[in-house]
Amino acid sequence: MMDTTTQSPFHRGERDVQTRLGVRDSIEDIGQRFIRDHLPEQHKAFFSQLPFVLIGAVDTLGRPWATILMGRPGFVDSPDPQTLRINTRLVFGDPLDGLLSKGTDVGLLGIEYQSRRRNRLTGKVAEFSDQLITIKIDQTFGNCPQYIQARDYELLPEIEAIGKPLATTQIHSLDDRAQEIITTADHFYIATHYSEDAGDDSHGADVSHRGGKPGFVRIEDARTLTFPDFLGNNHFNTIGNISLNPRAGLLFIDFEGGDLLYLTCKAEIIWDSEEKRAFVGAERLVRFTVDEGLLVENAVPLRWSFREYSPSLETTGSWQEVSDKLAALKEGNKYRNYRVVRVERESETITSFYLEPEEGDKIACHVAGQFLPIEIQPPEVEAPVQRTYTISNAPNGAYYRLSIKREPPAKPDLPPGLSSNYFHDHVACGTFIRALSPRGKFALNESSTRPVVLISGGVGITPMISMLEQLVNDSEGCGCTRPVWFIHGAINGKVHAFGDHVRRLAREFPCLSAHVRYSNPSARDVEGEHYDSTGYVDLELLKSLLPLDDYDFYLCGPPPFMESLYDGLKSLSVADERIHYEFFGPGATLHKEPGIGSLVENLGDQQPVPVQFARSGIQTTWDPSKGTLLDLAEAEGLQPAYSCRSGICQTCATKISQGAVAYVEPPMVDPGESTALICSSYPRPEATEDEESLPLILDL
């Protein structure tokens, strides 16, 4: 292993990005243990069986280029753990031809499509000749198999003639052929470089793989292209380099014709934008502006036959979905029809309904933990009813699963159980349900590497199942070992949903520890088989189960359950940013947390505004101490419809007859000037010429 007692294996750009994204401490520990200064035996054997490797370096202008080196398996060997030898010639026209000499920084990637294995190393050229490149290794490490498409290869006779003259075309903008290669690609290679200290092993060149669905690299114009950067190993070698040196070299391979497209570009990291937020799975976007390029025809003496796409792609979106989502947001809320294709009873009180879009429509992928706003028309009411239900499955691009608890009627006019009883009594396979796109801020942070604790009570299990499935999918995609604790409380087995499902995942997923506690087990419940302990999920249970560590906590359940756990975690000095929560049922905020219901801190000097609830004939005055307009209406005895209480689901949308509102946080969908989302808005003062405040008039 490296001598890491005084030096991080990451340079300052990588460390800055890790800090920005909240993974600095955990990934430093991983890097110290797994980034080596030598090749272990299994890596040496891996490189020796490859028919090609990728290499990255910079030209005399400091521009990175990514290129491919090929030969019969065995053309790469390692005479000792610190050395790698590549016995081959460069392809004719290769942009690095004449630029590799002793001391040149290089990054190298070995990748095997059929097994989805890959290993990376950085180092310096120790020796170079027409048919031999010797690299002295600085750092080496393995990469997870995410986003690699499985392919088998075949060597062509031309493997013996690498370096022969080929047709080449120099380009400064993307011509038709270049655009064809890019828009059909399901992966490419990217070379980057940063060095301000030649003696620091963390500095130098890097070359990496980026994969996605065909078309995941979007061409903006003849010199600009953008791609979504998905969840990776959190080393941020590429992004860290670009953050300090915004240049990159790209290599696209045409698998059918064997053409190579080399590009060197200026690079820009887009940390946040509407497009980034709309692209499912994207951690950020990266945009390239082409400086120069080269197309070399029939350069690859191999052919690949496609086997299957990476399973990791199932949880990623597409540019078409981004376009559709942004168009829908501009139009406002747009309900679509979904057909119920499956109904499955999870317990005596909870049933799952599987929804697929109408034929020809695409499903909008959600983030684990989000909910689906739906609209139904129960037979006993005149107006359609809007509700929100958590999506209880991980994103899969095929269906949404809504797991709904039957609630007993509480009021004759509009009982809380109106929607849930409609689902249980009237919805069957073939029923159509209208729904908006998924939304919600309570969502799994997949970029974190901290251990995860999912804690739920009752039907609060639904977002936790979605998150658990996503964590299992992430583990299967990249072989991560992120510990997950799943802790659930229920009355007994009669009302406990997803028990068998969680136990099966616990058997198959070695990083998952599950604990179920029943408060009142039935005679049929067997401790150790159906549940693990008796009582309530409380702080003492958490302390007995969880080793001392820095966790990400996710909580969902009824208010007393949530308040007790929240207070308990705060008493242990757990930071606010580590506690994520959502109530099931109507939204609320934990009483110890200043949420959007309290505006005094931010709007303490805001002048009072008169407010009229027109249909109710109520006149009152708002000031910051009154909270949101929903808080104000409830204080006046009104009961407006709402659900998320955070400006997301649109259930509380109310017509404005006069005046205007402002929002604590911008809503996910702009309701328009004549509509207010009262759960997250407050009056915006408007005055007449004599400076008298005009009242805000709402249709309530």
Would you list the domain boundaries of the chain? 12-319, 333-435, 452-583, 600-698
**CA–CA distance, 178 with 172 (Å, rounded to integer):** 11
- Residues 121 and 272 sit within 8 Å (Cβ to Cβ): no
Q: Would you put residue 291 in left (φ > 0), alpha (ψ -120 to 50) or beta?
A: alpha
CATH architecture, domain 600-698: Roll (3.10)
pLDDT band at residue 331 using 50, 70 and 90 as cut-offs: low
CA separation, residue 490 to residues 457, 515, 660 (Å): 6, 11, 45
pLDDT one-digit tens code per residue, 238-276:
999 999 999 999 999 999 899 999 999 999 999 988 899
Name the fold adopted by 12-319.
Pnp Oxidase; Chain A (2.30.110)
Q: List all residues 6 or more positions away from 528 whose beta carbon is below 8 Å from its beta carbon.
A: none
| For residue 557, pLDDT beyond 70 | yes
**CA–CA distance, 88 with 159 (Å, rounded to integer):** 10
Q: Of residues 38 and 680, which shows the higher confidence score?
A: 38
- Residues 315 and 475 sit within 8 Å (Cβ to Cβ): no
| For residue 309, pLDDT beyond 50 | yes
Q: What share of the chain is helix, strand, coil (3-state, %, to 5)?
A: 20, 35, 45
CA separation, residue 453 to residues 482, 490, 528, 571, 586 (Å): 11, 17, 21, 17, 23
- β-pairing, 696-698 with 609-613? parallel
CA separation, residue 520 to residues 459, 489, 555, 659 (Å): 16, 10, 21, 53
| For residue 5, pLDDT beyond 80 | no
- Cα 692–Cα 605–Cα 669 angle in degrees, nearest 5: 85
pLDDT confidence of residue 590: 58
pLDDT band at residue 596 using 50, 70 and 90 as cut-offs: very low
Q: What mean pLDDT is reported for the chain?
A: 88
**CA–CA distance, 675 with 355 (Å, rounded to integer):** 30
Name the fold adopted by 333-435.
Elongation Factor Tu (Ef-tu); domain 3 (2.40.30)
Q: What is the per-residue burial (b if ≥16 Cβ within 10 Å, else e) of 161-194?
A: ebeeeeebeebeebeebbeebbeebbbbbbbbbb
pLDDT one-digit tens code per residue, 608-621:
899 999 999 999 99
Which of 502, 519, 518, 403 is CA-nearest to residue 454?
502
| For residue 74, pLDDT beyond 90 | yes
pLDDT confidence of residue 414: 47
- Other C-beta atoms closer than 10 Å to the C-beta of 338 total 24
pLDDT one-digit tens code per residue, 356-379:
998 777 787 788 999 998 989 888
pLDDT one-digit tens code per residue, 385-439:
888 899 999 988 889 999 999 987 554 554 557 889 899 999 999 999 999 888 8
Report field, pTM of the whole predicted structure over 0.75? no
Q: Which residue has the tokens 């009824």?
A: 558
**CA–CA distance, 506 with 516 (Å, rounded to integer):** 12
Strand (E) or helix (H) holding 112: strand 105-112
**CA–CA distance, 157 with 302 (Å, rounded to integer):** 9
pLDDT confidence of residue 250: 98
**CA–CA distance, 624 with 370 (Å, rounded to integer):** 30
| For residue 156, pLDDT beyond 70 | yes
Backbone φ and ψ for 418, nearest 5 degrees, come out as -60, -50
CA separation, residue 133 to residues 42, 208, 656 (Å): 21, 19, 72
pLDDT band at residue 594 using 50, 70 and 90 as cut-offs: very low
**CA–CA distance, 372 with 400 (Å, rounded to integer):** 9
Write the DSSP symbol of residue 686: -
Q: Which two tokens stand for residue 65?
A: 């280029």
Q: What is the DSSP string of 586-649?
A: S----TTS--TT--HHHHTTPPPEEEEETTTTEEEEE-GGG-SHHHHHHHTT-----SSSSSSS
**CA–CA distance, 399 with 392 (Å, rounded to integer):** 11
Domain 452-583: assigned CATH number = 3.40.50.80
